[in-house]
Amino acid sequence: EAGEQAMGNEDLANMMEEMMAQLGGEQMGEEGGMLDRLMEGLFAKDVLYPSMRNLAEQYPPWLEAHAATLSQTDKKNYEQQLIVVKEICEMYERTDMDSAKQTDAVMALVEKMQQFGTPPPGLVEAMPGATRDFPQGENCCVM
């Protein structure tokens, strides 16, 4: 079975290489390449900002409602996440940056937010358009 899995991964890697060649031979890490365009799409204001705005609005009442049951570590991490979520919203609201610089800044903030773990499950799952319908962890084909 392990051999079949390894072969499946190798086949997947070969398929990705072929697909990249068909797309003009762009390398994933090249400046202005496919990965850059993909990331810009994922972090585009119209994609991520509504969820971040909603999270910024829902987080304070959630924290207040759950404060008594949270560990000090979780509470501190969630409070830090809220600060970063607000920073992301502020970055999207800026009009003095071009979209590439804004995307880079938002990506850095999302990375910063990840340092504090994942947002509370109940809060994220209650958000419209949340990832609750997507496979997570072991069931995620990307992981």
Q: Which pLDDT does position 91 carry in this prediction? A: 94
Residue 89's nearest CA partner among 111, 75, 74, 110 is 110
Q: Which pLDDT does position 126 carry in this prediction? A: 66
Q: Which pLDDT does position 1 carry in this prediction? A: 47
Q: Which pLDDT does position 19 carry in this prediction? A: 59
Structure tokens at 2: 């392990």
3-state secondary structure (DSSP) of residue 94: coil
User: What pTM does this model have?
Assistant: 0.64
Q: For 22, which DSSP code?
A: H
Could you tell me the mean pLDDT of each successive run of 10 residues in the chain, 143 residues long? 50 62 51 67 83 93 94 96 96 89 91 92 69 44 42
User: For residues 107 and 84, is the Cβ–Cβ distance under 8 A?
Assistant: no
